[in-house]
Amino acid sequence: MQLQVFILSMPMLCSALPSLYPAPAQESVGSSYWLDQGQREIRRVEHETIRSLLKSRAKHVVLFIGDGMGVSTVTAARILKGQLENSSGDEAQLSFERFQHTALAKTYNTDYQTADSAGTATAFLTGVKTRSGLLGVNGNAIRGNCSSLTDETRLTSFLRMAADEGRAVGIVSTTRLTHATPAAAYSHSVDRGWESDSSSTSDDRSRCPDIARQMLLNAADYKVILGGGRQNFLPEELKGKRKDGANLIREWQAKQGSLNCSRRAYIETRNQLLDLEPDKVDCVLGLLSSSHMEYHAENMMKQNLSERQPSLAEMTTKALELLTVYGKDTGLVLLVEAGRIDHGHHGNQANRALHETVALSDAVEAAVQLLKQKKLLDETLMIVTADHSHVFTMGHYGLRGQPITQLKYKRNATTGRLQLDKAGDDLPLTVLNYADGRGASKSRHDRWSINAPAEDTTKADYHHDAEKWRISRWRGRSCICQRSGLSPGSRVHEQTHVAHVIMYSAHLGPYASSQRESFQPTVAPNIKSAIFVNAAYIFKLVSGFVGFV
């Protein structure tokens, strides 16, 4: 009998710095490699069981992004949702978990194992992976170097492609509209931090305008834009951040006349949003907060409804109410981001992050119900995914029904009664934890008293325990889930596949109707495969059509 031995070599600890393992020789930081890779994957998908269905055109597209929503976040949010409905939580479902198929997406940037939101947004909106910190440009661009922004490095998002074809396009985000994810839908920036002219370090403002300015230059014809970040569009004398004196809100209003939008609406409040009627307005810009919008948990606690900002579900519903009218004949494309999941995790504030995730679930459900009511669901591709994960975990053998965001309890072995559980240092512990961040800013003995918690873990701004201290926790690297009712192949895909599936299904860009006849599969037809759903897709098969829900 032969003895086969597998030896795992481990690097020796030494003073010399290690060298980096090289990327595959065929990989390029430019656009062509990723576009070719995405098209090869689509060709393979054509041979799977849904090939005939995928030939149908998705008239409408809705892409939901949970920023920072890794698998552990989805698990904990599912439990929270159930507990908010007075159940143990484990048996609950987020709305998008009812979608038929799930797959995984790899979230690295071309230069980092752990991705940032700018590079990932560029990947799933353009179909090309790029460097960390870059928006709408390929990996040949250099962060902070304006001269590297050229025609060859610029990329086009599928939202821009759709608008150029006359479709009704919209963006909804709970972050500043100049923040990474929404900005990738319209901007070309070699630094995600150049949100306004006051934060830009570009030495050539005409070649590299700030991101707020680019929204006016490149997305003024998007029919609905809702989110935060008003300060980046206003001059300092109007409590804004712009040093050039420009009032980009007025410029947006003035520009709409030349874009066949005489009945324009600029709004700043929830009531103004809810009062919008599609037969009375043709385009909408809503800057609903000076910076990022408020966290959902705190916003919904306000008793005075007039003081509340709109929820993500309310913004999504209104955007679709408008876009389904504007795009009745041509179709609609909508990007929706739950951006503050990420922000909660950065602060080790699991309460905030999980309530934001439940709010995303509510928004997805609202979208499904509205499209179903309008009888548009069977021609809609809806995808729910994330851009990256976080170093967020749950463990410590929490009891079934254990309040997910609170201290851990155990049953007394003698009496069966619940009692506070303690770690080896005789101090309380939580079910939810982080690898690093502000939750480690105090020693455990300073943080807790021996007999009772020193801090209220139910508070929205509570910092859950972390192993190592950082002012803000790192993002985490893991595959993220993509869900849809029906997708080409339930497996692990490059994150760029999101954009290629959307472009293919909606006949955009390299998959436009005029080019589809020459787009011939090259994979052997006997290959068998499961239906795909990128780590956060959900495609729904309705009336014989592939609708992503």
Please state the residue numbers annotated as binding site.
67, 179, 181, 337, 342, 346, 387-388
Give the three-state DSSP class for 466.
strand
* C-alpha–C-alpha distance, residues 326 and 159, integer Å: 15
Catalytic one among 31, 95, 117, 132? 117
Give the three-state DSSP class for 297.
helix
Residue ranges of the binding site for Zn(2+): 67, 342, 346, 387-388
Cβ(157)–Cβ(126) below 8 Å: yes
Q: Residue 542 burial by CB count (10 A; 0-12/13-18/19+): exposed, middle or buried?
A: middle
Cβ(410)–Cβ(421) below 8 Å: yes
**Position of tokens 């080019």?**
515
One-letter amino acid identity for 86? N
Alpha-helical runs (H) found in 404-518: 444-447, 497-506
The residues, any chain, with a CB within 8 Å of residue 84's CB and separated by 6 or more, are 358
* C-alpha–C-alpha distance, residues 434 and 440, integer Å: 9
Q: Which pair of tokens denotes residue 357? A: 């995730």
Alpha-helical runs (H) found in 374-525: 444-447, 497-506
Cβ atoms < 10 Å from Cβ of 306: 8
Give the three-state DSSP class for 343.
helix
Is 443 in the active site? no
**Position of tokens 């787009």?**
519
Quick one: which of 273, 117, 265 has its CA closest to 183?
Answer: 117
Cα diameter, the chain? 83
Q: Which pair of tokens denotes residue 253? A: 């209003």
* C-alpha–C-alpha distance, residues 142 and 287, integer Å: 31
Residue ranges of the binding site for Mg(2+): 67, 179, 181, 337
* C-alpha–C-alpha distance, residues 241 and 250, integer Å: 15
Q: At what angle do helices 350-373 and 312-326 cross, to 10 degrees?
A: 30
Q: At what angle do helices 31-45 and 497-506 cross, to 10 degrees?
A: 60
Beta bridge partners of 393: 433
Quick one: which of 256, 352, 349, 243 has its CA closest to 296?
Answer: 352
* ∠ Cα 36 63 46 (to 5°): 40
* C-alpha–C-alpha distance, residues 205 and 188, integer Å: 13
Residues in the chain: 549
Element (DSSP H or E) covering residue 540: strand 538-542
Strand residue runs (E) in 181-331: 224-228, 264-267, 283-287
Burial 371-384 (b: 16+ CB within 10 A, else e): beeeebbbbbbbbb
Cβ(295)–Cβ(340) below 8 Å: yes
Active-site annotation, residues: 117
